[in-house]
A = this chain, B = another copy of it.
Amino acid sequence: MPTVAVQNLTLLTDFYELTMGNGYFLNGFYKKQSYFDVFYRSVPDNGGFAIACGLTDIIEYVKNLHFTEADIEFLRGKGIFDEKFLKYLRKFKFTGDIYAVPEGTPVFPYEPIITVKAPAAEAQLMETFILLCVNHQSCIATKANRIVRAAGGRPVMEFGSRRAQGVSGAVIGARAAYIGGCVATACTLTDELYGVPAAGTMAHSWVQMFDTEYEAFKFYAETYPNNAVLLVDTYNTLKSGVPNAIRVFKEYLATGKKFGNFGIRLDSGDLAYLTKKARAMLDEAGLTDAKIVVSNSLDEYLIRDLLQQGAKIDSFGVGERLITSKSSPVFGGVYKLVAVEKEDGTIVPKIKISENTAKITNPGFKKVYRFYDKKTGKAIADEICMRDEMVSEALPHTIFDPEATWKQRTLTDFRIRELQVPIFKKGKLVYKQPGLKELQEYCAREVAGLWDEVKRFENPHKYNVDLSKKLWTLKHDMLAQSGKKEI
């Protein structure tokens, strides 16, 4: 089965992870406990937040991490890896700790989504695959969530397999879209593998295959009375498609039989105009129960506009613009070294300095608290702090903006939650994966807990993600020192 679960994807790693791994092995660094954070810097589509996704595949990857003899032979052929390193790879497995936010969690820039603590050679090797999963799947879950919010409660189906970027783009993308809030997918394999309901009825070719559109509709409706959704735009939507659909529906109902779900799908033309006309025609024929589904290059912007113009739409099929996140196809998650342990166990924070302030990393072994207002239940702010810091719900807590430090705010009457949970401990999986439906519901609940201002598609209000005083001080001390230090 084409899931990462059963495959050896150990070599799905940038080649430099291996040259570095070999180097760490040769100078002894490979055993050095290292801390890497995964975080992202800017929200896709200039939105207010992203939906974290990809953890499930990362778990399967980590569990399966190993080099086969063929892999090792392949690496040997490169002529640059030390034999002792290749021997070490034979027994290579993950022995570290991983902390991560659950899939479906709304996350904000600079927060550690995943933290890996492991010997350097292990942690380094995993960079590529971890980022690939987080970047791809968060990208799609985030886009799906935007589209689902635009649809305002109307079901959104993911219809993009044929335009996806590869097999996993389609199969795993559809799973991510479901976590983000889609109700179904066209991808049958995603149903078989993950239980995301597969949906769909007919293509234009079905209609063309028959001598007349009427016959095509009639046979379909009789074969599938529980989901008789007829595609009405093969020849002419209003002159032929809708009238033929109405004729078929009425003739079928006249026999005394009933449909389950039934209706029409429009896949071209001006969907605002056509759905209003089609709705009127269906209603006039007494088919007020007939549903109208639309598709054709939809996204959150077009859906919002269509609904704002009074289009009569019951559900949406969204393809290429969802499954590739067309308007924002890259989720820029990064994997940065934030600390290393000395042999005595002392954690030495590390920082990556950049002339671009936004690219300076937050050093140290950290965690994230989300603060919720006890009265409204809404999320108020997140705070990134050192792993050993504790915040108590019983005491007022002052947060401040890490850039405009004079902007302070004291929170009271809040509930807090640590966003990251332990996934692996010393190489052992300690996390119980929630079911997919549970993840979808969790995502919906957490997004509902954000203020509308944060959820605007354009120019959303910036949610507060603050640094604890301890972290802020550490970072600024390190920056000040770096100016003096010889590197």
Contacts and interface: CB of A to CB of B under 8 A. Distances in A.
Interface of A: 1-2, 4, 7-9, 11-20, 22-24, 26-27, 29, 32, 34, 36, 70-71, 74, 78, 80, 120, 124, 127-128, 131-132, 135-136, 139-140, 159, 161-173, 186-189, 191-192, 198-206, 208-209, 212-214, 219-220, 223-224, 226-227, 233-236, 240, 244, 268-269, 320-321, 324-326, 329-333, 335-337, 340, 350, 352-356, 359, 482, 486-487
A362 B399 CA distance: 65
B163 A166 contact: no
A340 B18 CA distance: 54
Contacts of A227: 80
Contacts of A236: 353, 355, 487
B320 A330 contact: yes
Contacts of A213: 487
Given A20-B206, A208-B337, A353 B235 contact: yes
Contact of A205 (B124, B219, B333): B124
A202 B352 CA distance: 15
Given A9-B189, A166-B166, A487-B213, A223 B26 contact: yes
A412 B354 CA distance: 62
Nearest to A324: B329
B132 A164 contact: yes
A18 B189 CA distance: 12
25 contacts: A1-B7, A4-B167, A9-B189, A14-B161, A14-B188, A16-B202, A19-B201, A20-B202, A22-B223, A23-B224, A32-B209, A74-B191, A120-B209, A124-B205, A132-B167, A139-B165, A165-B166, A166-B172, A204-B352, A209-B340, A234-B352, A268-B355, A268-B356, A324-B330, A329-B329
Contacts of A26: 223
Contact of A132 (B162, B205, B226): B162
Contacts of A223: 22-23, 26
Give how many copies assemble into the complex.
Answer: 2
Nearest to A212: B487
B12 A1 contact: no
B18 A188 contact: yes
Contacts of A235: 353, 482, 487
A192 B69 CA distance: 13
A268 B354 CA distance: 9
Given A18-B188, A124-B205, A244-B487, 4 more contacts: A140-B165, A165-B166, A204-B352, A235-B353
A73 to B, nearest CB: 10
Contacts of A234: 352-353
A242 to B, nearest CB: 12
A331 to B, nearest CB: 7
A4 B171 CA distance: 13
Contacts of A336: 204-205
B162 A135 contact: yes
A15 B199 contact: yes
A249 to B, nearest CB: 17
Nearest to A171: B12
A164 B186 contact: no
**Closest 7 CB pairs between A and B?**
A166-B168, A16-B200, A131-B162, A165-B165, A15-B198, A15-B200, A14-B186
Contact of A131 (B29, B34, B163): B163
Contacts of A70: 192
A186 B131 contact: no
A103 B197 CA distance: 35
A176 to B, nearest CB: 9
A327 B442 CA distance: 33
A324 B165 contact: yes
A269 B355 contact: yes
A337 B335 CA distance: 47
Contacts of A325: 329
Contact of A162 (B74, B127, B269): B127
Given A168-B168, A192-B74, A203 B487 contact: no
Given A166-B173, A320-B330, A209 B161 contact: no
